[in-house]
Amino acid sequence: MAFISNAASGTVAPLRPAQFGGKKMDFRTAQSLAKQKSIEKKAKNYNLPLGELAIFTQQIASLLTAGLPLVQCLEALQDQTEDQVFRIIIRDVRIDISSGTSFSAAVKKFPRSFNSLFISMVEAGEASGALAEILAKVAAYFESTVKLTKKVKSAMTYPIAVISLAIILVNVLLIFVIPVFAAMFADFGAKLPTPTQLLIDTSNFLKYNFHWIVIGVIAAWWGLRKLVATPKGRRVKDHLLVRAPIFGNLIHKIALSRFCRTYATLIRSGVPILRTLEIVAGASGKVQIEDACAEISKHVSQGGQVSEVLAVNPFFPPMMKHMVKAGETTGNVDGMLNKTADFYDTECDATVASLTSLIEPLLIVFLGVVVGGIVMAMFLPIFQLGAVAGGLQK
């Protein structure tokens, strides 16, 4: 504690913390400014989750429908947003709009927070004067995408958790439990059954090379990610995923649903078809759809129709080709594609439900075979105890 002297009385009194208030306040201010600067720096490359973007889009559409000016809408959303980084983004967008910048130009400065679909729909809304209506459609599209993604993730959570637990359990048995049995069997001095010997050899290998196995798995995972990041590797990955035996059909249907819903939403909002195809290709996440969109764009620019390209592309099923052709005949392509997207969403829900009911018994059988096989292999010498113990009498 610091002290000051009293000249009149000759006593020394303690210095209260309030007398250091200036320095204390300066430190807090500097700390606050450093934190604010860090958040603002992070905002430039902030990857906003699609769920939060869906909520933001729905809220701003509702406020615009209620008659509030865009700047006041953003100000209200800035105050109620709990995400500090996204609050900075909304603030910067609001400031740009207040200075005369268009909404689409302001959000373009944050491409990782506002995807190309959102930006293009905002441009279409500004051009048509129906920004609130178009943003409501975008919000509905984002919400359906998030809902479908959550269903797939929830279906995958259970098998991943069970398989991970099984891997951990098997490794614990092999590294810590099996060596105890191996030491006991070594005292018998007899030849062990083949399954037991293989299990003990595997246990010894894991016990003395576990760190190398971990390093190898990490290196393989890193190399696989680097390979998938290349155009050729990504193409191979997408083709393998679609052809996967259990989840390939689901992945295919999700890709088709996303293609139909995105295309229909953009066309209905007045986005030019070539720009629509460009956005659909970027939002699809599948090289098959990217290739198809490039081919459709080239064909349409030469006076052709979308259905003509889909008819010869094996990635798109016959039902979708006929729906698009019927939409082109009646002038209602977006309506037909929305119905097709609804159909595939229903199919995805049914597929997820069937996979969930199918995976549970498969996992039970898998765990029973793995754990039961280990237990049987270790107790097999005990079952043959007479033959094994015979070696002790020789």
Cβ atoms of residues 122 and 131 within 8 Å: yes
- 50-87 pLDDT, tens per residue? 889 999 999 999 999 998 899 999 999 988 888 888 99
Instruction: Report pLDDT for 1.
Output: 44
Burial class (CB within 10 angstroms; exposed 0-12, middle 13-18, buried 19+) of 392: exposed
Q: Looking at domain 50-142, which of 1.20.81.30, 3.40.50.300, 3.20.20.70, 1.10.3470.10 is its CATH number?
A: 1.20.81.30
Say if pTM beats, i.e. exceeds, 0.85: no
Cα(219)–Cα(229) distance, rounded to whole angstroms?
Answer: 15
Please count the other Cβ atoms lying within 10 Å of the Cβ belonging to residue 84.
12
Q: Write down the architecture of domain 155-394 according to CATH.
A: Up-down Bundle (1.20)
Residue range 149-202, pLDDT digits in tens: 888 888 778 888 888 888 888 888 888 888 888 888 777 666 778 888 888 888
User: Is 257 in contact with 148 (CB distance < 8 Å)?
Assistant: yes
Among residues 279, 249, 275, the alpha carbon closest in space to that of 262 is found at 279
Question: In the chain, where does the domain assigned CATH 1.20.81.30 lie?
Answer: 50-142, 155-394
Say if residues 247 and 270 touch (Cβ distance below 8 Å). Answer: no
Q: Kindly give the parts of the chain with pLDDT less than 70.
A: 1-27, 30-32, 188-190, 384-394
Residue 18 has a pLDDT of 45
| pLDDT number for residue 17 | 45
Residues 6+ apart with CB under 8 A from 267: 273, 276, 333, 334, 337
d(CA 358, CA 107): 44
Non-local CB neighbours of 85 within 8 Å, separated by 6+ positions: 39, 42, 43, 46
